[in-house]
Amino acid sequence: MLDMPAIREDLKTVYDLAPNPDLAARMSAEYSRMSRVVSPADWAIHAPYVAAINALKRERNAAILAHNYMTPQIFHGIADVVGDSLQLAVEATRTKADVIVQCGVHFMAETSKILNPSKIVLMPDMEAGCSLADSITAEGVAQMRAQYPGAPVVSYVNTTAEVKAASDICCTSANAVQIIRALEADTIIMTPDKYLAQNVAALVPEKRIVWWDGACIVHEQYTAQDIREFREWNPGTRIIAHPECPPEVVAEADFSGSTKGILDYVSAERPARAMLVTECSMASNISDAHPDVEFIGPCNMCPFMKKITLEKVLWSLHTMTTQIEVAPEVADKARLAVQRMIDLSAAKG
């Protein structure tokens, strides 16, 4: 566990991190992208960290890859690339930076390292895990193969490098249907997210999909009753769900898609009011770009994503510690599964 009081004091000996309203005012371009969800007082606190990180990443030739569930200060203030898991994986193969700072959870940093074995990949907090990644091991994949001999294994990117290495191909919530349809097998194993697998199975009835019993702690909390009650209390609101939600929740929604899919849907449809059935920061991060859309309703916060903070990003870049390493023999096998996914996604457009 990181010793944050000690880290905080160490950083203050090198950087001027005191709240600075004048600096915040000069950084109005960054603030304009998050002004609906971050107060001026809070921005004065965060601006010194944002300025220090942006200066240091230029010095280190570093690129910051941030998932859509990051806080607005990270998403809009310091990120060079933002997106869902598929977008971040693709961009990790394209970056010219010497250093990648992964603002997301551990499996995302592993994926970046797998795709860039010669680059330094920093993970600001090694304890930023994932309930899905923690739900299965390579031994679990072997069990599924033994139970369904000959069936290919499609593993969600929300898995460890060892699980990816034991799989035939990876998928994300953005391309899972596309990947499953492209495989010639009639029976397909999907790990570890049972809800994503069930939602894909409903869209690809010609395939027999069997799944591991994993779930996302954020999305499994939503229920169909929640959605029905919310719709009754808020008529006319467009309900948009992530496919990691239970199938009965997805069935009640007006649209279901990955975080990129959600963003594309909101951008195209411009509903007057929308409820995003996903992690809380998603609505916060897209609200300023969609001032005509009122985002309402409950959300669930990911405790793992929220372990990544500006302080930890600055400390990681400052010390160049918290580097991700993946054993070469594991990385080589995992890279095949991830690259197959990327290639298939690109080929099918």
Helix, strand or coil, per DSSP, at residue 239: strand
Residue 130, marked binder: yes
Residue 244, marked binder: yes
Helix, strand or coil, per DSSP, at residue 240: strand
Residue 280, marked binder: no
Residue 302, marked binder: yes
The answer to whether the CB of 207 falls within 8 A of the CB of 189 is no
Residue 216, marked binder: yes
DSSP string, 124-191: S-TT---HHHHT--HHHHHHHHHHSTTPPEEEESSS-HHHHHTSSEEE-TTTHHHHHHH---SEEEEE
Q: Tell me how far apart the alpha carbons of residues 239 and 247 are, in angstroms, rounded to a whole number.
A: 14
Residue 156, marked binder: yes
Residue 30, marked binder: no
* φ and ψ of 187, to 5 deg: -110, 130
Q: Which two tokens stand for residue 47?
A: 């601006």
18-26: long-range contacts (C-beta < 8 A, 24 or more apart)?
A: 18/48, 19/44, 19/45, 19/48, 20/44, 20/47, 20/48, 23/47, 23/48, 23/51
Residue 157, marked binder: yes
DSSP 91: H
Residue 328, marked binder: no
Q: Tell me how far apart the alpha carbons of residues 209 and 211 are, in angstroms, rounded to a whole number.
A: 7
SS3 content of the chain, % helix, strand, coil (to 5): 50, 15, 35
Q: Which two tokens stand for residue 137?
A: 């091991």
Peptide bond between residue 40 and the one before it cis (omega within 30 degrees of 0): no
Q: Which two tokens stand for residue 146?
A: 């033994």
Residue 158, marked binder: yes
* Annotated binding residues for [4Fe-4S] cluster: 130, 216, 302
* Annotated binding residues: 67, 85, 130, 156-158, 173, 216, 242-244, 259, 302
* Annotated binding residues for iminosuccinate: 67, 85, 156-158, 173, 242-244, 259
